[in-house]
Amino acid sequence: MYFKTLLSETFLAFSTSNFDWKMQLQSCSELAMKIGFIGAGKMAQALARGFINSGRITPENITASSPKQDNLFLNECKVLGLQTTHDNTEVVHKSDVIFLAVKPPIVNKVVSEIAPILSRERLLVSIALGITIRNIESLLPSKSRVVRVMPNTPAVVRAGASAFAMGSTCKDGDAEIVRDLLSTVGFAVEVPEIHIDPVTGLSGSGPSYMFAVIEGLADGGVKVGLPRDLAIKLAAHTLYGAAKMVLETGVHPAQLKDDVQSPGGSSIYGMHKLESCGLKGILMDAVEAATSRSRATGDRALPRDIRNTEQETIGEEFSKTDEFIYTCFDSDNSQLSSGSATVSRKL
């Protein structure tokens, strides 16, 4: 069925104008894109599941590698229908886009292993915590195409939030490739690389914070007499509905919060308790702590000969004031918003 669809689309392309033919053939090639994952852990599996669930990438066009001691991860990938291997170079040979999904301490080793065969025709997308584009580029041939991404686990249900930053030697169109892939599994936005660590602290780690909030709300429901399964569903739908209101109305969360709180009502009493416990400050501290951890992880992974230079470069970037134009897309490939962001602060 898959190849039949490809042939049909290609035939239609030939029957239209030359411009339409090029566009249609491009669409076919995107569907046939081959994806690789070096590292087959939870985040890699979440992205793979999301790509498959979107219908844009078929399981047989995804290859994942993992060390022999991590056979459990590969077995889970086999259940998804992915091709699996213990050989990282095999992933590179078979893929157009390679996701580097390994732990930070082994990034340098893995990148050095694949460097001799990573041609400019392949795009390397790193989701490794804290590892900068410059660090990876320093281990690869010149002009290698490198992208840094911070996704999150809701990608598995096509409700992820991903931010990506482009390397300086990427080709025209690489940002579109990455955006199209990530948009199949949720919200995707291009940002300057200096924003990736803060994104890690907010949306990258954010699902764990929200799961804790759901658990806490559900526990509260159980305490006042609700069955646990019902309490969990009510808590989860409450967060889902609140998030949807923020996204679809464009109204500031503070205003939406105030709209719920009637004078003397139950909500203002509950909010008083949350404020007395410092809820917002606690969440801010969590984002800041996770951001700092991401930066520290990247610093430790840097080769010694570029560590100082890297830190100086990042410091210079943070000391500048730059306007960055961004455009945000959702999983249906529709534009959500666009605008500009000004960066002006120092480490």
Does residue 295 lie in a domain region?
A: no
pLDDT digits (tens, 9 = 90+) for 31-62: 578 999 999 998 999 899 989 988 889 999 99
Q: What's 95's domain CATH number?
A: 3.40.50.720
Paired tokens of 197: 């660590």
22 and 135 part of one domain = yes
Q: Where are the beta strands (DSSP E) in the chain?
A: 35-38, 62-65, 83-85, 97-100, 123-126, 145-150, 160-166, 186-190, 321-329, 335-344
Neighbours of 72 (CB within 10 A): 10
Q: In total, how many domains does the chain have?
A: 3
Does residue 198 lie in a domain region?
A: no
Helix, strand or coil, per DSSP, at residue 103? coil
Does residue 228 lie in a domain region?
A: yes
274 and 315 part of one domain = no
Domain boundary among 158, 193, 228: 193
244 and 154 part of one domain = no
- Looking at residue 56, what is its pLDDT? 85
94 and 157 part of one domain = yes
96 and 166 part of one domain = yes
140 and 178 part of one domain = yes
Does residue 293 lie in a domain region?
A: no
* Residue linked to tokens 């939030």: 161
How many angstroms separate the most distant Cα atoms in the chain? 68
Q: What's 229's domain CATH number?
A: 1.10.3730.10
| Cα–Cα distance measured from residue 302 to residue 234, given in angstroms and rounded to the nearest whole number | 45
Paired tokens of 48: 């793979």
Does residue 80 lie in a domain region?
A: yes
246 and 188 part of one domain = no
247 and 173 part of one domain = no
Domain interval for residue 306: 300-344
Strands 145-150 and 186-190: unpaired
Which residues on neighbouring strands pair with residue 327, listed in sequence order? 338
For residues 207 and 154, the answer to whether their CB atoms sit within 8 Å is yes
172 and 278 part of one domain = no
pLDDT band at 198 (very low <50, low <70, confident <90, very high): very high
- Looking at residue 69, what is its pLDDT? 80
41, 111, 115 from 87: Cα distances, Å: 16, 13, 14
Does residue 289 lie in a domain region?
A: no
pLDDT digits (tens, 9 = 90+) for 238-295: 999 999 999 999 999 999 999 999 999 999 999 999 999 999 999 999 999 999 999 9
Q: With CA atoms as reference, report the closest residue to 175 among 188, 158, 161, 159.
A: 188
38 and 80 part of one domain = yes
Does residue 131 lie in a domain region?
A: yes
Is the pLDDT at 26 greater than 60? The verdict is: no
Over residues 184-212, the mean pLDDT reads 97
315 and 238 part of one domain = no
Domain boundary among 252, 283, 314: 283
For residues 165 and 133, the answer to whether their CB atoms sit within 8 Å is yes
Domain boundary among 160, 193, 226: 193
For residues 130 and 108, the answer to whether their CB atoms sit within 8 Å is no
For residues 210 and 239, the answer to whether their CB atoms sit within 8 Å is yes
311 and 169 part of one domain = no
Does residue 290 lie in a domain region?
A: no
pLDDT band at 315 (very low <50, low <70, confident <90, very high): very low
